[in-house]
Amino acid sequence: MSNNAQSGPLAGLTVLDFSRVIAGPFLTQILGDLGALIIKVEAPGVGDDMRHYRPAGWKKDAPGFVGLNRNKKSIEIDITTEAGQDVCRALAEKADILVENFRPDVMERYGLHYAAMAEVNPRLIYCSISGYGHTSPFKLVAGYDPIAQAESGMMYLTGPADVEPQKAGGSIGDSYTGLHAGMGILAALEARHRTGRGQFVDVSLFDSMLSALGYVAAHPQLIGEDPPRMGNKSHALVPLGVYQCSDGPIMIVVGNDRQFEKFCRDVLKRPDMLEDPRYASLATRQANREPLEATIDAIFRTNNREHWVQVMRKAGVPAGSVRSPMEAVHSDEATGRNMLVPVKFDGEMVDLVASPIRLSETPVVAPTEIPTLGAHTDLMMAEVLGYSADKIAELRAVGAFGKPKA
Tell me how far apart the alpha carbons of residues 230 and 11 are, in angstroms, rounded to a whole number: 45
Provide the domain limits for residue 246: 240-324
Based on the fold, state whether residues 250 and 198 are members of the same structural domain: no
Please give the tally of structural domains in the chain: 2
- Helix (H/G/I), strand (E/B), else coil: 369: coil
**What pLDDT score does 4 carry?**
45
**What pLDDT score does 6 carry?**
60
Answer yes or no: 346 catalytic: no
Q: Which residues pair with 248 in a beta bridge?
A: 245
Based on the fold, state whether residues 119 and 251 are members of the same structural domain: no
Among candidates 178, 215, 185, 218, which has minimal Cα distance to 200?
Answer: 185
- Helix (H/G/I), strand (E/B), else coil: 16: strand
In a domain, 38, yes or no: yes
300: CATH: 3.30.1540.10
Determine if the pTM surpasses 0.95.
no
What is the Cα 102 distance to its own chain's centre?
Answer: 18
Angle between helices 205-212 and 172-195 (to 10 degrees): 100
Q: What is the pLDDT along the chain (406 residues), one digit of tens a residue?
A: 554 446 899 999 999 999 999 999 999 999 999 999 999 999 999 999 999 999 999 999 999 999 999 999 999 999 999 999 999 999 999 999 999 999 999 999 999 999 999 999 999 999 999 999 999 999 999 999 999 999 999 999 999 989 999 999 999 999 999 999 999 999 999 999 999 999 999 999 999 999 999 989 998 899 999 988 999 999 889 999 999 999 999 999 999 999 999 999 999 999 999 999 999 999 999 999 999 999 999 999 999 999 999 999 999 999 999 999 999 999 999 999 999 999 999 999 999 999 999 999 999 999 999 999 999 999 999 999 999 999 999 999 999 999 987 6
CA dihedral (317, 323, 326, 328) in degrees, to 10, reads: 20
Based on the fold, state whether residues 53 and 146 are members of the same structural domain: yes
341: CATH: 3.40.50.10540
Selected catalytic residue, list 33, 61, 145, 174: 174
